[in-house]
Amino acid sequence: MELEKTAKVSLVGAGPGAKDLITIRAMKVLNQADIVLYDALISDELLSEIRTDIPRVFTGKRCGEHSHTQDEINELIVRYAFEYGHVVRLKGGDPFVFGRANEEIEYVESFGIPVSVVPGITSAIAAPSSQGIPMTKRGVSSSFWVMTATKRDGSFSQDLQFAAKSSTTMVILMGIRKLKEIVEEVSKYRGLMTPIAVIQNGTTTHEKCYVATLDSLNTISGEVDITQPGIIIIGDVVADHPSFFEEEVLRILHHAI
């Protein structure tokens, strides 16, 4: 006779993309799950590491196309917890970095279901690092600011302006579709030769990194796939990217011809 399973939920950070950048604790919890709900940033390679007898449900959101609304996801977590037992909610990066983890925790706990959190490596740091771009550097940048580009109503967050006015390294998530507008806004407060990088599919085999300056962004913007998520890094630390000066010299020569 099968014992009745206790309802519980684990919010697990999957890391920045590469399957081997998930933590050991996260993998242990994943393989103890009775069912896994995963988002759009989870790679097939990582999913293949989960025990094949564990059911998986896609609950992804990408570029305005949602398989489920957030309210529906909250309801699914609770329903599956009572039906299956241990639900693992697998989120890209870290659950608490723009992952709406608090909303899910509050909803689930309101039903008396315990929730635990397994931190993940956030792409905000891992993706730039994988490209040789430091967040801080002695004598160049003493801080970094991770922010979302826009608020719920689509307008720019005031934090974007505050960060642009400082010398901090700016790391902007969920801003690819407003890349040109972001650069126009930041250019009001920073020099046009300020370096910028755009990283998509960070830490995976499909990783792409584009480097430029605020002034020369138009030379790379056409290459960026706005249907795919990515990270924007603005600040002098981007000059540490191995190809930054090479790319800038090529652009200068191109315009000179």
Model pLDDT for residues 219-241, shown as the tens digit of each residue: 888 899 988 889 999 999 999 99
Structure confidence at residue 222 (pLDDT): 86
- How buried is 80 (Cβ within 10 angstroms: 0-12 exposed, 13-18 middle, 19+ buried)? buried
The Cα–Cα gap between 244 and 2 comes to 60
Q: What is the pLDDT of residues 187-207, one digit of tens each?
A: 999 999 999 999 999 999 899
Beta strands in the chain (DSSP E): 8-13, 35-38, 56-58, 61-62, 65-66, 86-91, 115-118, 144-148, 169-173, 195-200, 208-213, 230-234
CA-based Rg of the chain, rounded to a whole angstrom? 20
Give catalytic residues, as residue numbers: 39, 61, 174
Structure tokens at 212: 């430029």
Structure confidence at residue 252 (pLDDT): 53
